[in-house]
């Protein structure tokens, strides 16, 4: 009988550490355990996603393949927040293709890519309503972004969402200064409306 030794660190990850798993967002490594599957010993990270009420077991050897990573460093989080303040970039392609691209960005696990989705799908109160699928993607991206920002900055998710919304409000054509918009902004607005049609 082989005793399963409890390790607390593997491949630079340790137990109780928060990580980002691209397909599910922020999770916490609860344990590193050994299991025997079909006669082979496997070392697994046991990752808990509290908000999703889900536990995932990932072979330690597969973390690079699945894209699991440590939480973003504060400068990268700052870059993601700066991205939110930028001008929305909406391609003139069919919604189904754009939706696939947004989905891929959300599941990439890259915080700056997720921030781009939030920025591109954000609608202020003065802008037209979103379709159901746009709203779903926006909320999925917002949730992923807020969870990582809250874990990095050690704030609540509500505080992280407030920070994201404050950054979005500073973006072009979103703040209270819409009456004083430059002519270039007016042209840009016409383009965005054409694309939404």
pLDDT at 55 over 90: yes
Token look-up 């889900």 returns 54
- Whether residue 150 is predicted with pLDDT greater than 60 in this model: the reply is yes
Burial track 112-128 (b if 16+ CB lie within 10 A, e otherwise): bbbbbbbbbbbbeeeee
Residue 76 has pLDDT above 90, yes or no: yes
Q: 74-196: which CATH topology? A: Methane Monooxygenase Hydroxylase; Chain G, domain 1 (1.20.58)
Structure tokens at 40: 């082979």
- Per mean pLDDT, which range of 30-39, 43-52, 175-184 is the poorest? 175-184
| The domain over range 9-70 is classified in CATH as 3.50.50.60 | no
- The closest of 73, 60, 67, 141 to 108, measured between CA atoms, is 67
**Rounded to an integer, what distance in angstroms lies between the CA atom of residue 197 and that of residue 185?**
19
Domain parsing of the chain, residue ranges: 9-70, 74-196
pLDDT of residue 173: 66
Terminal-residue alpha carbon distance, the chain = 66
Same fold, 9-70 and 74-196: no
Coil, strand or helix: which one is 122? coil
């Amino acid at each position: 009988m082989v005793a399963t030794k409890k390790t607390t660190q593997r491949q630079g990850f340790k137990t109780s550490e928060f990580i980002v798993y691209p397909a599910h967002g922020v999770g916490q490594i609860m344990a590193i355990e050994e299991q025997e599957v079909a006669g082979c010993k496997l070392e697994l990270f046991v990752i808990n996603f509290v908000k999703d009420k889900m536990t995932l077991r990932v072979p330690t050897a597969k973390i690079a393949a699945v894209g699991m990573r440590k939480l973003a460093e504060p400068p990268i989080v700052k870059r993601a927040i700066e991205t939110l303040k930028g001008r929305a970039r909406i391609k003139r392609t069919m919604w189904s293709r754009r939706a696939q691209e947004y989905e891929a960005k959300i599941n990439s696990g890259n915080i700056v890519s997720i921030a781009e989705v939030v920025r591109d799908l954000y609608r202020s109160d003065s802008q037209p309503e979103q379709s159901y699928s746009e709203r779903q993607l926006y909320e999925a991206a917002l949730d992923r972004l807020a969870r990582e920002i809250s874990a990095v900055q050690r704030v609540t998710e509500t505080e992280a969402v407030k920070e994201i919304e404050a950054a979005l409000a500073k973006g072009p054509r979103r703040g209270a200064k819409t009456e004083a918009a430059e002519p270039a902004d007016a042209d840009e607005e016409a383009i965005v409306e054409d694309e939404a049609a």
